[in-house]
Amino acid sequence: MRTLKFYSIFLILALLTLSGCKEERKKVVKTEAITFTKEGELTIYKEQSDSVIVKYNIEIAESDYETQTGLMYRESMELDQGMFFIFPDVLYHSFYMKNTKIPLDLIFIDEGLRIASYKENAQPMDETGLSSEVPVQYVLELNAGQRKQYSLEVGDRIAFIRM
């Protein structure tokens, strides 16, 4: 009986001690808004007439970190802005919208600077892979609807300059 009392008291004290340890302070993580940094300009030309279709201010992603992060965590992007990815090799590339908060059009561009394929209206936070379907070296991310608005087609040509 004495042993049972001892274990009961010990168990109650242990529970009180442990319950006091469970109280954790919630950590508040403050993140700064990620803003657009103009690093270049990109012009898209019509394949047949070579006339200018549209011009964009671009942020360039070419390091591993930049290409993996892309437009993640951005709240918005102006209509004249885009994210331009430059890859060292011509390969099949696949993108997804994890942690991306704005719908996008993805324009896949070959090593000759011609539109090779595109994906329209990629939905925010969707982790489904969006493949280039052909080997490409560049990808341009634009606000959703831009491909259709400017009638961008396979074969249209791009030119870009760094700032």
DSSP state letters, 28-83: PPP-PPP-----EEEEEE-TTT--EEEEEEEEEE-SHHHHHHTTTT-----TTEEE
Please tell me the total count of domains within the chain. 1
In a domain, 4, yes or no: no
pLDDT at residue number 8: 52
pTM of the model: 0.80
Give the CATH number, domain containing residue 109: 2.60.120.1140
Count of H-run helices and E-run strands, the chain: 3, 9
pLDDT in tens, the chain (163 residues): 454 454 455 555 555 555 554 445 555 555 678 899 999 999 999 999 999 999 999 999 999 999 999 999 999 999 999 999 999 999 999 999 999 999 999 999 999 999 999 999 999 999 999 999 999 999 999 999 999 999 999 999 999 999 9
Which residues constitute the domain of residue 59?
A: 40-162
In a domain, 11, yes or no: no
pLDDT at residue number 145: 98
In a domain, 114, yes or no: yes
Assigned token pair, 149: 């608005």
pLDDT at residue number 4: 46
In a domain, 108, yes or no: yes
